[in-house]
């Protein structure tokens, strides 16, 4: 029997407490059976823009982010599929397995959703759960079924975490200590640009 799955995709480079807050808010508001934090294999919007940490490291860090959190799972669906990662392909894969899929994203990401691969088709296949992000208003999303999720999500972004860490900050207030230990253990770095 199919499940009601929240699909929260991203690069997660690195995953941080803002990601966790978004996933938890959607899980609780939508009463989802499972919430998957789907780690992109090759994030098409970032290829050529900046160096991206290897997918297996991003997956391992995301697993650490959600460990011991009921209903949240790090997912390697897009890594296993290989190539560029497109949400539409992941939605179709989950729907073919009989699941109902709700795409979760922050208000900041929602502003650009019409630029996503096969966006018009995606809008017919699923609905969006758009989680509040400080400093961002819910954009006008014509042709999408949208549910706004109130949240106390952090204004932090992965780019802020990378920048902070490149300057030598520990960043333990915005990433879990287990993720920080993983970064240190594997000597992951995000040089200043």
Q: What is the 3-state secondary structure (H, E, C) of the chain?
A: CCCEEEEEEECCCCCCHHHHHHHHHHHHHHCCCEEEEEECCEECCCCCCCCCCCHHHHHHHHHHHHCCCCCEEEECHHHHHCCEECHHHHHHHHHHCCCEEEEEEEHHHHCCHHHCCCHHHHHHHCEEEEECECCECCCCCCCCCEEEECCCCCCCCHHHHHHHHHCCCCCCCCCCHHHHHHHHHCCCCCCCC
Instruction: Give a yes or no: residue 192 inside a domain.
Output: no
| CATH number of the domain that residue 96 is part of | 3.40.50.620
Q: What is the pLDDT of residue 108?
A: 83
Instruction: Give a yes or no: residue 193 inside a domain.
Output: no
**Domain containing residue 53:** 4-185
Per-residue confidence band for 24, with pLDDT thresholds at 50, 70 and 90: very high
Instruction: Give a yes or no: residue 176 inside a domain.
Output: yes
Q: Which of 7-11, 47-51, 134-138 has the highest mean predicted lDDT (pLDDT)?
A: 7-11
In the chain, the number of structural domains is 1
Instruction: Give a yes or no: residue 191 inside a domain.
Output: no
Q: What is the pLDDT of residue 109?
A: 87
Output the pTM of the full model: 0.92
Per-residue confidence band for 159, with pLDDT thresholds at 50, 70 and 90: confident
Mean per-residue pLDDT, 101-105: 96
Instruction: Report the percent of the chain where pLDDT is more than 70.
Output: 95
């Amino acid at each position: 029997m199919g499940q009601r799955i929240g699909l929260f995709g991203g690069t997660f480079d690195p995953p941080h407490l803002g990601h966790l807050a978004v996933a938890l808010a959607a899980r609780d508001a939508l009463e989802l059976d499972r919430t998957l934090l789907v780690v992109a294999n090759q994030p098409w919007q970032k290829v050529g823009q900046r160096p991206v940490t290897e997918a297996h490291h991003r997956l391992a860090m995301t697993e650490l982010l959600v460990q011991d959190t009921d209903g949240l799972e790090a997912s390697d669906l897009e890594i296993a599929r290989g190539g560029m990662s497109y949400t539409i392909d992941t939605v179709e894969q989950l729907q073919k397995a009989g699941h109902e899929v709700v795409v979760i994203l922050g208000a900041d990401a929602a502003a650009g959703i019409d630029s996503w691969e096969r966006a018009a088709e995606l809008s017919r296949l699923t609905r969006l759960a758009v989680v509040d992000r400080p400093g961002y208003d819910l954009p006008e999303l014509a042709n999408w079924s949208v549910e706004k999720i109130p949240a106390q999500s952090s204004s932090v972004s992965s780019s802020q975490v990378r920048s902070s860490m490149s300057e030598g900050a520990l960043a333990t207030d915005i990433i879990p200590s287990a993720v920080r230990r993983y970064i240190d253990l594997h000597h992951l770095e995000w040089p200043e640009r």
